[in-house]
C-alpha cells in the first residue's frame, strides 16, 4: 500500500502543477489558439504523466485513498497560484482550507487497511462496459441543454469509471495486455466523459459548485465500490473516522475551489 500512497501523492502534485502551467498559458491566448501555447502543451503532457502514475496507484492502494489524494490536487494549484498567475493572492482562509484537506488525508491514510484485492468476475467488467456506454450517451444527449450540475455529476461518473475500471483490470503487466483488455473501453469512455463533462460544467455554471460536485462523485462512488466489491480494506474501528475524514477533505477542497485562486486556475 505504501507504493500506492506514494504514487497517488506524486499524481496529485503533477495534476496540481499541470493546472497551474495550463492556467498561466491560457492567459496568453483565446479560443483554439490556447491549445498551441507552449505552456498549455507542457501542462497537457504533465497531465498525461499524472494520469499514467494514477493508473499504477490504483493497483496498489484502496480507491478511497487514491481518489481523495488526487482530488486534493486543488491544494497544489491554489497554493501555487500566486507564483504562476499575476494578481492572484492567497487569503488566510485558503491556508486554513489547505490545512483541513491535509488533516483529512492523514486520517484517510491511517484508516487504510492491508490490501486484500478481490478478482471481479466477467459480469462485473461487462456491467462496467454497459454503464460506461450509457453514461457516454447521456453526456452526448445532455451536452447542449443540461445545467452545470448535471454535467458535473456526469463528469464525476466518468472519472469514477476510470478509477474503478483500472482497479478491476487484470493484466500481466504489459502495456499491450492493458490496451487490449476489455476494461480499456471503460477507461477511454470514462475519461472522455470526465473531461468533456467537467469543461462543460465549468462553462455553464459556478466553478466552486462544479468542482465540488465532480470531486464528491469521483471520490465517494469509487470508494464505495472499492470497499464493497473490490476488496479495499478499512482498519477495524476506523470506519467512522474514514467517513468523517473524507467529508472534511472534500469540504476543504470545495472551500479552495471557491477561492479567488481556485477560480483563477479553473
String of DSSP letters for 232-257 = --B-TT-HHHHHHHHHHHHHHHHHHH
- Which of helix, strand or coil describes residue 112? strand
Q: Distance between alpha carbon 131 and the CA centroid of its chain, in Å?
A: 19
Tens digits of per-residue pLDDT, 11-42? 999 999 999 998 888 877 776 677 788 988 99
Whole-prediction pTM: 0.86
Tens digits of per-residue pLDDT, 38-55? 988 999 999 999 999 998
Burial grade of 114 (CB within 10 A; 0-12, 13-18, 19 or more): exposed
- Quick one: pLDDT band at residue 98, thresholds 50, 70, 90? very high
**C-alpha to C-alpha distance for 216 and 115, rounded to whole angstroms:** 24
* Residue of higher predicted confidence among 115 and 194: 194
80, 17 Cβ separation under 8 angstroms:
yes
pLDDT at residue 183 greater than cutoff 80: yes
The neighbouring-strand residues paired with 175 are: none
Amino acid at each position: 500500500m505504501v507504493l500506492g500512497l506514494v504514487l497517488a501523492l506524486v499524481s496529485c502534485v503533477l495534476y496540481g502543477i499541470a493546472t497551474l502551467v495550463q492556467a498561466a498559458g491560457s492567459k496568453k491566448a483565446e479560443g483554439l489558439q490556447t491549445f498551441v501555447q507552449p505552456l498549455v502543451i507542457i501542462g497537457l503532457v504533465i497531465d498525461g504523466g499524472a494520469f499514467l502514475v494514477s493508473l499504477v496507484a490504483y493497483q496498489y492502494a484502496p480507491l478511497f485513498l487514491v481518489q481523495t489524494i488526487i482530488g486534493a490536487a486543488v491544494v497544489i494549484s491554489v497554493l501555487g497560484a500566486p507564483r504562476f498567475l499575476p494578481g492572484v493572492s492567497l487569503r488566510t482562509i485558503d491556508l486554513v482550507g489547505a490545512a483541513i484537506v491535509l488533516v483529512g488525508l492523514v486520517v484517510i491514510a491511517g484508516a487504510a487497511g492491508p490490501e486484500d484485492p478481490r478478482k471481479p468476475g466477467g459480469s462485473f467488467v461487462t456491467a462496467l462496459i454497459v454503464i460506461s456506454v450509457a453514461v457516454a450517451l447521456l453526456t452526448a444527449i445532455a451536452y447542449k441543454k443540461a445545467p452545470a450540475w448535471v454535467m458535473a455529476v456526469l463528469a464525476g461518473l466518468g472519472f469514477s469509471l476510470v478509477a474503478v475500471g483500472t482497479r478491476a483490470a487484470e493484466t500481466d503487466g504489459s502495456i499491450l495486455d492493458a490496451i487490449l483488455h476489455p476494461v480499456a473501453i471503460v477507461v477511454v469512455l470514462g475519461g472522455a466523459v470526465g473531461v468533456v463533462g467537467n469543461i462543460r460544467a465549468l462553462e455553464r455554471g459556478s466553478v466552486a459548485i462544479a468542482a465540488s460536485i465532480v470531486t464528491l462523485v469521483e471520490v465517494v462512488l469509487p470508494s464505495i465500490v472499492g470497499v464493497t466489491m473490490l476488496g479495499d480494506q478499512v482498519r477495524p474501528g476506523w470506519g467512522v473516522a474514514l467517513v468523517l475524514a473524507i467529508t472534511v477533505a472534500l469540504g476543504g477542497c470545495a472551500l479552495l475551489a471557491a477561492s479567488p485562486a481556485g477560480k483563477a486556475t479553473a
